[in-house]
């Protein structure tokens, strides 16, 4: 393999497209005649302004983001949004959350600090291995929004269709599925994603927010950084942004456009995940932990049912050049994260290895 890289199945920070890493390398010492690296550049320089403008424009084109939505690049990762969302969107102090796994649980705990949180559906009863039916939720009239985590990175469940919010604003954490398939932005009031899962380096979140949800009348103690208006009014540059992450993400947006956009990406992701799921469905040693119709295309947890054997498989995969397959402690076993940048060959090679392991240890 070129560069002697490992197949990296990490849930995040995660593998990035090699052509993007190569471009970044080539521009490292002197970005396009500027005489400096992007890391060294003033964020107020025209050359950097072009980088951020293009990143936003390319993302808008990729996702067909309507003009009445703002695109914001904010620091603090996805976790900061657990607080920023209620701080900014809770006008009546009431919101509905669907509890589908570890990340929605964290969002719920944080939102409770700011208002009245209704957990309107949950899949806790079976350790979050499915998405509850959300066709007829009990949503209070004055609820400010309905919140979902659209792909639960740890539990490996994804929403086959969006909940019926009965006209209320939908807020979605897309961190671990962002740009993995086409997305109809106007179905949502706010979409956000920490970029270190499926796009670029850690330390930034992309927020796509409908303009009418950006308010001025926040609690006056709200930190200025925590107001969406601050970021919207200043083109994501009220203070120094994560210049490097914006630059790298911009390259990934261009790369996705060059391969045919999100329709093509979805095809590849379905094809790739199928290799893994076909194997799990035929294996006698390994079992996927999620009900079939809710299986994620991005994060695939699986177990042998025997903790010692799980640990043995993880060690064997690592020794063979397949890294970061240890499952999260709340699910156990293994987890293969197969984000956009994981090539199909990586999954095929892993499956061959697991088949061989099963034959030798079964």
- Is the Cβ–Cβ distance between 322 and 338 less than 8 Å? no
176 binding ligand PLP? (CB under 6 A): yes
- Is the Cβ–Cβ distance between 115 and 60 less than 8 Å? no
Among 77, 182, 261, 343, which residue sits at the site for ligand PLP (rule: CB under 6 A)? Answer: 77
Q: How many CB atoms lie within 10 A of CB 306?
A: 12
* Cα dihedral value 68, 202, 300, 254, nearest 10: 50
| CB 245, min distance to ligand PLP, A | 11
Whole-angstrom Cα distance, residue 304 to residue 284? Answer: 9
Residue numbers 99-118 binding ligand PLP by CB under 6 A? 103
Nearer to ligand PLP, 73 or 103 (CB): 103
- Is the Cβ–Cβ distance between 241 and 248 less than 8 Å? no
Among 34, 49, 57, 79, which residue sits at the site for ligand PLP (rule: CB under 6 A)? Answer: 79
- Distances in Å between the Cα of 180 and the Cα atoms of 11, 84, 243, 270, 342 are 14, 25, 24, 10, 12
Nearer to ligand PLP, 312 or 328 (CB): 328
Tracing tokens 């293994």 back to the chain, one arrives at 334
Nearer to ligand PLP, 105 or 251 (CB): 105
How many residues are given for the chain? 362
| 190-194 and 205-210 strand pairing | antiparallel
Structure-token pair, residue 48: 């950097």
| CB 126, min distance to ligand PLP, A | 19
Query: Which of the residues 70, 105, 197, 272 is marked catalytic?
Result: 197
| CB 320, min distance to ligand PLP, A | 26
| CB 189, min distance to ligand PLP, A | 18
323 is catalytic: no
Nearer to ligand PLP, 85 or 262 (CB): 85
Q: Classify 191 as helix, strand or coil.
A: strand
Residue numbers 6-25 binding ligand PLP by CB under 6 A? 12
- Is the Cβ–Cβ distance between 172 and 188 less than 8 Å? yes
The one segment of 72-80, 138-146, 280-288, 354-362 that binds ligand PLP by CB under 6 A: 72-80
244 is catalytic: no
Interface with ligand PLP (CB under 6 A), residue total 12
- Is the Cβ–Cβ distance between 20 and 251 less than 8 Å? yes
355 is catalytic: no
Nearer to ligand PLP, 77 or 115 (CB): 77
> Which residues are registered as beta bridge partners of 121?
98
Query: Which of the residues 58, 103, 105, 326 is marked catalytic?
Result: 103
- Distances in Å between the Cα of 13 and the Cα atoms of 4, 8, 121, 303 are 19, 10, 30, 23
Whole-angstrom Cα distance, residue 18 to residue 1? Answer: 12
Structure-token pair, residue 43: 């964020």
Residue numbers 154-173 binding ligand PLP by CB under 6 A? 173
Nearer to ligand PLP, 298 or 354 (CB): 298
DSSP 326: B
Q: For the chain, give the longest Cα–Cα distance.
A: 65
Query: Which of the residues 58, 70, 144, 173 is marked catalytic?
Result: 173
Nearer to ligand PLP, 163 or 357 (CB): 163
75 binding ligand PLP? (CB under 6 A): no
| CB 194, min distance to ligand PLP, A | 3
194 binding ligand PLP? (CB under 6 A): yes
Catalytic residues, which ones? 103, 173, 197
Q: Can you give the binding site for ligand PLP, defined by CB under 6 A?
A: 12, 77-79, 103, 149, 153, 173, 175-176, 194, 197
């Amino acid at each position: 393999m070129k560069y002697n890289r490992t197949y990296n199945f990490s849930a995040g920070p995660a593998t990035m497209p090699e052509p993007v890493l190569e471009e970044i390398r080539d521009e490292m010492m002197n970005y396009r005649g500027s005489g400096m690296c992007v890391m060294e550049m003033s964020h107020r320089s025209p050359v950097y302004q072009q980088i951020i403008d293009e990143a936003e424009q390319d993302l808008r084109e990729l996702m067909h983001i309507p003009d009445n939505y703002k695109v914001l690049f904010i620091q603090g990762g996805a976790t900061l949004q657990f607080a920023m969302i209620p701080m900014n969107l809770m006008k009546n102090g009431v919101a509905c959350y669907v509890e589908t796994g570890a990340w929605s649980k964290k969002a719920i705990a944080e939102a409770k600090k700011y208002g009245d949180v209704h957990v309107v559906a949950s899949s806790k009863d079976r350790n979050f291995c499915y998405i509850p039916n959300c066709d007829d939720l009990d949503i209070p009239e004055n609820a400010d929004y309905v919140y979902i985590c659209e792909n639960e990175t740890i539990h490996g469940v994804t929403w086959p269709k969006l909940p019926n919010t009965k006209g209320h604003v939908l807020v979605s954490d897309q961190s671990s599925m962002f740009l993995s398939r086409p997305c109809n932005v106007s179905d949502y009031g706010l979409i956000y994603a920490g970029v270190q899962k499926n796009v670029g380096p850690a330390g930034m979140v992309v927020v796509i927010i409908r303009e009418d949800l950006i308010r001025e009348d926040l609690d006056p103690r709200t930190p200025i950084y925590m107001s969406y208006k601050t970021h919207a009014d200043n083109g994501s540059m009220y203070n120094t942004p994560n210049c490097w992450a914006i630059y790298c993400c911009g390259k990934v947006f261009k790369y996705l456009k060059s391969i045919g956009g999100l329709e093509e990406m979805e095809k590849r992701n379905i094809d790739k995940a199928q290799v893994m799921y076909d194997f799990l469905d035929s294996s006698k040693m390994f079992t996927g932990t999620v009900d079939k119709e809710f299986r994620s295309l991005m994060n695939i947890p699986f177990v042998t049912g025997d903790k010692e054997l799980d640990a043995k498989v993880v060690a064997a995969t690592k020794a063979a050049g397949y890294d970061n397959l240890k499952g999260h402690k709340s699910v156990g076993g293994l987890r293969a994260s197969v984000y956009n940048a994981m090539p199909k060959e990586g999954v095929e090679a892993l499956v061959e290895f697991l088949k061989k392991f099963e034959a030798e240890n079964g």
